[in-house]
Amino acid sequence: MKIVFSKMTGGLLLFTLLVSLKVNASLPQAKNDSVFHLVQPDYKLSPLTGMTRQHWLDAATYLLDGAFSYIHTPDDPMHFPKQPGKSYPTDGKPNKTENLEGLCRTMFVAIPLLKENPDLVLNGIKVGDYYRQQLRNMSDPSKPGYIQHLKGGPSQTLVEFGALALSLTVMPEIIWEPLTQKEKDDLAALMLSYGNGPTIGSNWRFFNIFVMSFFKDQGYEVKDGYMDELLQKSLAQYRGYGWYNDSPAYDYYSMWAFQMYGMIWAHYYGEKFNPEAGRQFVSNFRDLVPNYPYMFAEDGKMNMYGRSITYRIAAAVPFPLMGWLNDPSINYGWMRRIASSTLLQFLENPALMEDRVPTLGFYGAFEPAVQIYSCRGSVYWMGKAFLGLLLPADNPFWTAIENNGAWEKELQSGKVYNKFMEGSNTLVTNYPNSGTSEIRAWCHETVAKDWQKFRSTENYNKLSYNTAFPWMADSPDGKVSMNYAVLNDKQEWEVLRLYTFKKFEDGIYYRDAELETNPEIKFRLADIPLPNGILRVDKVSFPLTTELRYGHYSLPELESPIVTKEQKAGGYTAYCMDNGAYQTALINLQGWSEVEFVQTEGLHPVSNKCSVINAATTHSGDKVFITLQLWKKSGKPFTKKELTPVKSFKQTGDTITIYFSDGTVKTVSLP
């Protein structure tokens, strides 16, 4: 065993150490306070979070008040400080598209507040007046908010106009009806030049759909045939169990885009314009109820997975919208528990806000999770969560007693639960012993073709993603988490990203993978989730001799240095580490030459320093690697029983029979 220290360089941000923060619920929210305070929590209605509908309104006010700290006159653009890194504008100069994002996306936060109080004032500015003036400015060439009619193909302006059309849909009495007829006509002509125009074959179709739907509802002429075509193409992207294919990924865009847009469109326009499409969107949305809640941890926290993770709490929006189903069989107390916990997961985190605006990242600023299509104002896409406040106060989503749903009885300790969703071939796994949830999903994108550099990256390429372990970025020197890394012909460490799903059978998730720079380097992968972790049985085929590494989930350093130790476990050595919140362990059952504790800096979204257990070897030819990776909450060290779920195994050619200590037997076939 050896300890390796690695420091990441190249301009990555260093990240604030995050610790859980308890606040005095009696304290009011200070203007410049970076952390949301839950004032007068109601633990009778919400025994797990204390949050009520009023607290959701308070949270929306907290976010919008920060945004309006940059507004001093009704003509000021919604422009925020540039975060260092790859986000646009890369030249740091004010940008019309950037300002439009800030404007249209903060409206998601403003909608429920204005519907509750049309005379809302923030920073001395009447919020409703401000947004109305900004709509007028879009057609006034003398104003900084002026937007030209469409010239060319689809652009970010279409995205923001789609968001604006949704806001117009749900609060026309505030931002549409007060406009003069000429102002309405000018805005309609501008937005329809985009809405009637070209789009991209993904969730973008909804932007056209909402623009056309709103203005058709107001009596303007739209391309009816085109709208119906886009509705049908959007529905055709559905793959079952709540998942839409977003050309080509399966991620939170299924939830905060397809499902949210589909449900809202059905609610406001379905019966008017296309009843069958509306009914189908609602049916698809209903499929979320028995599936989507299981993607969240027992404590309601969301998983760090997929692009645009900086939108964070937007992932919670389907839960309140389930209130529109008005279905007494739905456990609305569990749905609100998850949604409220996800809000608090970020709003109570001291790293979320900088300069009173949410950072681009996960908890705080985290450059590896930022995409080039994002600007600082992009973060307000998270405001979609507050569209749940469109539900009245007497909706069962708000009135049901909060509870832990399936984690209370259905998901029993000592067991592991797999929910395989055919169509998307996604696997969600629940671990009652640790209260965590895990996802395995699509990733098959080359770096060479990934011009935006997100579908081939850690946002998708990990072998799995767990709610307890936000992903660590890979290090150029081969330090890796939840993936294999191969030293390629360029003498660069290359991780797996070209996965092909094969099957899910007998609790085993099978995938094949190959190296992008050398397709002859192949992996036959078999994941076996266990009550306390994962057993990996993987066949690795190399036509040459090179170095190979594998990494466990990483642990961020919290209040004290991470503790590492080795202990014997059934004839093997368990390599264990503990950060005070969770413990991890890795046991080499077959194949690896060494196991090491790796320390890194600047690679983790929770703290600047983190550690991960890596296994390593020099390999050629065909070999089956069997790796046991475990985890549990801190407090009590791993017991011998916990470290020895595998009693023995037998390999016959490409068939490996695993004999577990509880008497069960599984056969893994890796032809």
Mean pLDDT on 202-229: 98
Q: Are 332 and 21 in contact (CB under 8 A)?
A: no
**Tens digit of pLDDT for each residue in 315-343?**
999 999 999 999 999 999 999 999 999 99
Which of the pair, 346 or 6, is modelled with greater confidence?
A: 346
Poorest-pLDDT segment among 2-6, 40-44, 259-263, 360-364: 2-6
- Mean pLDDT, the chain, as a whole number? 94
Angle in degrees, 0-180, between the axes of helices 53-68 and 127-137, rounded to the nearest 10: 50
φ, ψ of residue 260 in degrees (nearest 5): -65, -50
Cis? peptide before 248, omega within 30° of 0: yes
Number of separate helices (H) and strands (E) present in the chain:
16, 26
Q: Are 608 and 365 in contact (CB under 8 A)?
A: no
For residue 664, pLDDT beyond 80: yes
Cβ contacts of residue 518 below 8 Å, gap of 6+?
A: 488, 489, 543
Q: Are 143 and 187 in contact (CB under 8 A)?
A: no
**Tens digit of pLDDT for each residue in 367-387?**
999 999 999 999 999 999 999
CA–CA separation, 110 and 66 (whole Å)? 12
**Tens digit of pLDDT for each residue in 78-128?**
999 999 999 999 998 889 999 999 999 999 999 999 999 999 999 999 999
Going by the DSSP 8-state scheme, the letter that residue 491 receives in this structure is S
The identity of residue 388, as a single letter, is G
Q: Residue 534: helix, strand or coil by DSSP? A: strand
Number of residues that this document lists for the chain: 671
Which of the pair, 287 or 15, is modelled with greater confidence?
A: 287
The single residue listed with the structure tokens 């490409």 is 654
Q: Tokens at residue 595, please?
A: 């196991």
For residue 22, pLDDT beyond 70: no
Which residue intervals of the chain bear CATH 1.50.10?
53-408
Q: What is the pLDDT of residue 453?
A: 85
Distances (CA, A) of 670 to 512, 524, 652: 9, 6, 11
Q: What is the pLDDT of residue 2?
A: 39
Q: Residue 367: helix, strand or coil by DSSP? A: helix
Centre a 10 Å sphere on the Cβ of residue 633 and count the other Cβ atoms it contains.
14
Q: Are 339 and 505 in contact (CB under 8 A)?
A: no
CA–CA separation, 107 and 103 (whole Å)? 7
CA–CA separation, 617 and 329 (whole Å)? 53
Which residue intervals of the chain bear CATH 2.70.98.70?
417-669
Cis? peptide before 350, omega within 30° of 0: no
- Distance, C-alpha 597 to centroid of its chain: 28
> Kindly report the CA angle at 622 between 617 and 625, in degrees rounded to 5?
50
Q: What is the pLDDT of residue 29?
A: 56
CA–CA separation, 613 and 595 (whole Å)? 7
- Spatial CA neighbour of 97 closest among 86, 105, 85, 108: 105
For residue 11, pLDDT beyond 50: no
**Tens digit of pLDDT for each residue in 56-74?**
999 999 999 999 999 999 9
**Tens digit of pLDDT for each residue in 460-500?**
999 999 999 999 999 999 999 999 999 999 999 999 999 99
Going by the DSSP 8-state scheme, the letter that residue 358 receives in this structure is E
Centre a 10 Å sphere on the Cβ of residue 203 and count the other Cβ atoms it contains.
21
Q: What is the pLDDT of residue 33?
A: 63
CA–CA separation, 365 and 82 (whole Å)? 12
Q: Provide CATH code, domain 53-408.
A: 1.50.10
> Kindly report the CA angle at 171 between 167 and 173, in degrees rounded to 5?
140
Buried/exposed 347-377: b ≥16 CB within 10 Å, e otherwise: bbbbbbbbebbbbbbbbbbbbbbbbebbbbb
Q: Are 631 and 434 in contact (CB under 8 A)?
A: yes
Give the chain's end-to-end CA distance (angstroms, integer). Answer: 33
> Kindly report the CA angle at 118 between 115 and 124, in degrees rounded to 5?
130
Q: Residue 614: helix, strand or coil by DSSP? A: strand
CA–CA separation, 533 and 496 (whole Å)? 21
Question: Residue 20 — pLDDT band, cuts 50, 70, 90?
Answer: very low
Q: Provide CATH code, domain 417-669.
A: 2.70.98.70
Q: What is the pLDDT of residue 93?
A: 85
Q: Are 585 and 574 in contact (CB under 8 A)?
A: yes
Q: Residue 634: helix, strand or coil by DSSP? A: coil
Q: Are 78 and 127 in contact (CB under 8 A)?
A: no
- Spatial CA neighbour of 167 closest among 98, 268, 318, 75: 268
Instruction: Return the H-helix or E-strand segment holding 418.
Output: strand 417-421
CA–CA separation, 36 and 41 (whole Å)? 13
**Tens digit of pLDDT for each residue in 223-244?**
999 999 999 999 999 999 999 9
114 conformational bin, left if phi > 0, alpha if psi -120 to 50, beta if neither: alpha
Cβ contacts of residue 3 below 8 Å, gap of 6+?
A: 564, 596, 597, 598, 599
Q: What is the pLDDT of residue 92?
A: 81
Q: Are 562 and 577 in contact (CB under 8 A)?
A: yes
Strand order of the sheet with strand 655-660? 646-652, 655-660, 665-669
The single residue listed with the structure tokens 């390429």 is 461
The structure's pTM equals: 0.94
